[in-house]
Amino acid sequence: MSALTGTTVIGKSWSFHAAHRLLSLPEGHKCRREHGHTYTVEIEWTAEVLTGPGFVTDFGNFGPFKRHLDENFDHRNLNKVMDAEPTSENLACLLAEWIVEHLEPSLEGRLVSVRVSESPTSWARFTVVRP
């Protein structure tokens, strides 16, 4: 056991395939046309105190989030499932809201951030700010 104090952060990632188009962009912009991505969603989760055998939380506890991604986003048109324009930034925020509402109340620790990548080189991160 370490004498250091601090927080521990864990991460977990999932992928899904979806299409979208960004209608607020000007005509001729490639992202205005319908296109698809293999999205990667990564979450960071933290706790000041480890539980059980030394966990922030068991990775298996994120199963409901994986089901949410599969049922609501995988192989979908994001324009039809999101109220906001389906940018990676808006998707990261939407997913963070779902996690805070549906997972945080029943798990050890709390959400730090959600990162959404639409390619290996392009991503957006929503970081939760706590009062």
pLDDT per residue as tens digits for the range 77-89: 999 999 999 999 9
Q: Which of 17, 31, 42, 108 is catalytic?
A: 31
Domain ranges of the chain: 26-58+73-127
Q: Is 75 a catalytic residue?
A: yes
Secondary structure element (H or E) that encloses residue 17, with its range:
strand 8-20
Measured between alpha carbons, how far apart are the two ends of the chain, in Å? Answer: 31
68 is catalytic: no
Name the class of domain 26-58+73-127.
alpha beta
| Active-site residue, from 29, 35, 75, 102 | 75
At 34-58, the pLDDT tens digits run 999 999 999 999 998 898 899 999 9
Calculate Rg over the CA atoms of the chain.
17
